[in-house]
Structure 1
């Protein structure tokens, strides 16, 4: 079994310790270190490569005391280091999500989240890495599988919907216990409300989400969508 090395980076030591302990209990992951600020994170990353035991994944808090976690991700890209990132933050701002995506983040976990949600994200990462070997040549099917772009995945999507956006919406819904309206998804994904509703209705039609009226709001009841889990 392949083991992926993780550095846990969070400004709250208790949180970092809890996440590190959870990761240690998984057979396919090991903790390569912890850090509580950007300077410590960059030092730990550099040290892992200097020791010839490079880290594979960062569990990276965006809100660090000295520099933003986005700056750490930017450092990775500038140095050409092959390290994946799962961003962790309490920030629900769409611009932060877009910045994380531009820096190549594999995933985005919004605090507070449960260890179950973290586990699902790690499962997803392990499956993603397992799709492609570390060496050798690949055919188009293997490349498409790695980038979540197989023909089977895209063939049944209604015209105008993209697999990339669908994957992002699915990750948002599946990583949280909350239900979301089309308006809330539109705000998170920088989509129009009509477009967000089309994605949510597609997921509802394929029985991947539940749809129900949201009560307690003034005016016409708003529909909300929750992951079936």
Structure 2
């Protein structure tokens, strides 16, 4: 790990658009910097070994848009990679003794995979699709955990250990506006993620069997969270209708 005041993040994601979106999210969170993007498990393990080896300030071999040469502290790991399963990569990271923390960021909801990731020592698991707010919360709680661990001496106490781990599990979730539900928000986000083209509030309401007003409210919330791109749809009569698309 680096002693830098900022936390270096390696994004491991094979799909180009999500990889760039996650990289941009990292750039937007104070205290974090993008250390690199790896599109395969092999690229990731190579980048980590170069970073941890002699002259680790040289940075990774896959640092698209990154602040090269400042070290990797945290890996954002997708489970579906073209050459390795995320769990296999996690085992290789641990087996090599590489001093990095790992947060799984994946669409995989299989309980066996979640348990395997936990057994492998991840510090967080974020299921796609998600909003920028959820992503930011996951990383900022990790930063607090890291800060508390860094403040401890070589020999620690039970209360200090409990305090550090408690930082990874905030007791209060990011509140939604009154009258909005997390399940409905996830359904709208998932629909936009799967849609081949931008959708209007009317189209979302028809797909999810909700009123247009309700659909518009959830879409506007996602737009305010900067998880969704909002733009006018031209070619219709009257005022242009707004359409929404997932950022990645």
**TM superposition score normalised by structure 2:** 0.58
Q: What is aligned with 2:126?
A: 109
SS of 2:166 mapped into structure 1: coil
- Give the total of aligned pairs: 162
Query: What residue ranges of structure 1 are gaps of 5+ in the alignment?
Result: 150-163, 180-215, 217-229
Structure 1: which 4+ aligned runs deviate by more than 4 Å? Answer: 167-171
Instruction: Map 1:1-229 onto structure 2 (within 5 A).
Output: 2-50=5-53, 51-52=56-57, 53-133=70-150, 136-137=153-154, 138-148=156-166, 167=169, 177-178=182-183
**TM superposition score normalised by structure 1:** 0.63
Q: Over residues 7-58 of structure 1, what are the superposed CA-to-partner deviations in whole Å (9 max), with x where a residue is unaligned?
A: 0011111111111111112221111100111011111111211324541110
Bigger relative contact order, structure 1 or 2 (CA pairs below 8 A, ≥6 apart): 2
Structure showing greater Rg: 2
Q: 1:169 to 1:134 in 2, by over 3 A?
A: closer
- Contact 2:74 2:103 (8 Å CA) reproduced: yes
Cα deviation, residue 170, structure 1: 8.1
Please give the alpha-carbon distance, in whole angstroms, between the structure 2 residues aligned to 1:177 and 1:39: 36
Query: What residue ranges of structure 2 are gaps of 5+ in the alignment?
Result: 58-69, 185-208, 210-248
Q: Over residues 128-170 of structure 1, what are the superposed CA-to-partner deviations in whole Å (9 max), with x where a residue is unaligned?
A: 1111226633333212212339xxxxxxxxxxxxxx9xx5998
